Structure 1
Amino acid sequence: MGSITTGFFAWKAGHRQAAAAEAAGQAQANALIATVQATLDEQRRARASDRRRQVYAQFLAAVEEAHLAAYGGSGHDPIAVGARLFQAQGAVDLEGPSSLSEAAYEAALAVSLLRTARGERAEAEAVARVSEVRASFVRAAQAAVEEIEGAA
């Protein structure tokens, strides 16, 4: 009878050890899954941040090109420059957020108005307006990128 009792307790202890090992394995697997998910989320945020930076930088380059072309004599085809500016603005519209789309619209409009400014005072005001809306766009772009990077 003693060996049956000893066998029963040994079986019971072995069963508890197996259950504990299974629970530990599940916890370890869950921790690994959580780590992989966190890594994938961070990579996704980094790609989105990089994509936004590229779109915003391309828009700023198009604004600068249009600004130079507005003065003429720079060898820039005004139609091609306008098309690149419009295309870059569309990319900003798609990438968002809406506050940045509005800033891009204001910047594109200011550059367009710069081309039609006549007279020294009007040109100076138009140049100042381009600088102002460009700075506003840059601030909005920085905030949009920080929003993605801060969403950890």
Structure 2
Amino acid sequence: MIAAGSAVAGSIVTGWFTRSAGQRQAAAARHAGDRQADALLATVQATLDDQRRARAIDRRRQVYLEFTEAAHQVFVQGRTTPEHVARLTHMSWAVGLVGPRSVDDAADALCQEVSSLTGESLSFDEDRVASLYFAFQESARRALDENIP
């Protein structure tokens, strides 16, 4: 009888420890699965962030290019017209949207200078407009190279 009681008690204890070990193993597997899922989510988020940054830089580059083309038309024509000023103003607003502030300030300065000269013939030798044009280009290059927000 004692032997039978010992056997039953041993079975219960063994079963209890086996059950506990199984629960610990299941919890460890769940935890490992959670870590794996977190790592996957972090990788996906990093990829999406990189793609978002690349799209923002591409959009910024496109806006800078369009502003530069609008400003270049003043040089090609050798004078300013209301159409040049309107396009330059529109693109200056776009530059303000994509930033950063340093490039926006350079675009505004050029736009204001061109607006003040509407209809006049410009001398481009060492002209203020040329200086502002190149200052905008330098500021835009720096913002793109350094990825300034």
- Give the TM-score category using the shorter length: 0.7 to 0.9
Is the contact made by 1:70 and 1:115 (CA closer than 8 Å) also made in structure 2?
A: no
Q: 2:38 is matched with which residue: 9, 16, 30?
A: 30
**Superposed counterparts of 1:36-115, under 5 Å:** 36-71=44-79, 78-112=81-115, 113=117
Superposition deviation, residue 124 in structure 1: 2.8
Superposition deviation, residue 110 in structure 1: 4.3
Superposition deviation, residue 67 in structure 1: 1.6
Decide which structure has the larger Cα Rg and report it.
2
Identity score, percent: 46
How many residue pairs match? The answer is: 140
More helix by share: 1
Superposition deviation, residue 46 in structure 1: 0.9
| Partner Cα separation in structure 2 for residue 49 and residue 19 of structure 1 | 45
| Partner Cα separation in structure 2 for residue 45 and residue 5 of structure 1 | 59
Aligned to 2:21: 13
Could you state the TM-score of these two structures normalised by the residue count of structure 1?
A: 0.78
Superposition deviation, residue 145 in structure 1: 2.5
Q: Which sections of structure 2, spanning at least 5 residues, go unmatched?
A: 1-8
Which secondary structure state, in structure 2, belongs to the residue aligned with residue 116 of structure 1? coil
| Partner Cα separation in structure 1 for residue 66 and residue 121 of structure 2 | 25
Aligned to 1:137: 136
Is the contact made by 1:59 and 1:89 (CA closer than 8 Å) also made in structure 2?
A: yes
RMSD: 2.4
Q: 1:116 is matched with which residue: 103, 114, 120?
A: 120
Is the contact made by 2:103 and 2:136 (CA closer than 8 Å) also made in structure 1?
A: yes
Q: Report Cα offsets for 1:50-102 as digits up to 9, x if no partner.
A: 11101100000000012212358xxxxx3322221121112112222222121
Q: Report Cα offsets for 1:15-65 as digits up to 9, x if no partner.
A: 110010011011111111111111111111111111110110000000001
Could you state the TM-score of these two structures normalised by the residue count of structure 2?
A: 0.80
Range 100-109 or range 12-21, more displaced: 100-109
